[in-house]
Amino acid sequence: MGDIRLFVSHSHDDKEIATALVCVVEAMMVPRERILCTSHNNPKYREPKGVDVSRHLRDHLTQSSCVLCLLTPHSLQSPWCMFELGGAWVLAKRTFPLLAGGLTEEDLPAAMKGTEAAQLTDAGETRRALANVRQALGWDERVKGSAEMELDALVNLVRGSHWNRLLKPLSGKV
């Protein structure tokens, strides 16, 4: 099954942001085990071709120590993302929500209410959240400041994203 430790939950509509997030994770810390990010272009982060995706996701979510949850208007309307978050909740996985697309902590799914979330448009909040992920996983930190370029690129990407305004408002803010 592999050695997945960090499960990146995201909507495939947010592929570019999820991919940039994985780049930041790899630049900030030294992963000892694999990261699962199913829409990443690099096959080392995805499920193998020809596998039962549902089973693969369930197996790797069960195996993961932490879930990094990219919450956007897209992911909150994705049945797959809601399954992943529900599974993480049932399994009592450490879940770290990262918000984008105008979402706030008020928009967190019910089971995540009260969870500290970070805004991906704020480099400081994102840095703190990822430091907490690193500590929870027991992964080593790379040289201080080594991820600043990748972090700035992620923040700028999120700030420049155009969210689909046709999405049904979740809290009246989206």
For residue 166, tell me if it sits in a domain: no
Please give the mean pLDDT across all residues of the chain. 88
CA distances from 90 to 36, 62, 83, 98, 101 (A): 19, 10, 10, 20, 26
Place of tokens 């049932």: 90
For the record, the structure tokens of 93 come out as 């996985």
In tens, the pLDDT along 84-128 reads 999 999 998 999 999 999 999 999 998 888 888 999 999 999 999
CATH code for position 156: 3.40.50.10140
Distance separating alpha carbons of residues 69 and 103, to the nearest angstrom: 13
Predicted local distance difference test score (pLDDT) of residue 165:
45
For residue 98, tell me if it sits in a domain: yes
For residue 167, tell me if it sits in a domain: no
Q: Which secondary-structure segment (H or E) carries 54?
A: helix 53-63
In tens, the pLDDT along 121-139 reads 999 999 999 999 999 999 9
For residue 55, tell me if it sits in a domain: yes
According to DSSP, residue 46 is labeled S
For residue 169, tell me if it sits in a domain: no
For the record, the structure tokens of 129 come out as 């959240």
Q: Which secondary-structure segment (H or E) carries 122?
A: none
Identify the domain containing residue 81 by its residue range: 4-160
Which positions ≥6 away from 78 have C-beta within 8 Å?
11, 13
Q: Give the pTM.
A: 0.89
Predicted local distance difference test score (pLDDT) of residue 161:
87
Among candidate residues 2, 5, 1, 22, the one with its CA nearest the CA of residue 98: 22
- Looking at the predicted structure, is the pLDDT value of residue 164 above 90? no
Domain count, the chain: 1
For residue 83, tell me if it sits in a domain: yes
Using alpha carbons only, give the angle 133, 151, 112 rounded to the nearest 5 degrees: 40
Give the CA radius of gyration of the chain.
Answer: 15
Which positions ≥6 away from 97 have C-beta within 8 Å?
69, 71, 108, 112, 115, 117, 118
In tens, the pLDDT along 136-156 reads 999 999 987 779 999 999 999
For residue 128, tell me if it sits in a domain: yes
The β-bridge partners of 97 are: 69
In tens, the pLDDT along 17-59 reads 999 999 999 999 988 788 999 999 998 888 878 888 888 888 8
For residue 172, tell me if it sits in a domain: no
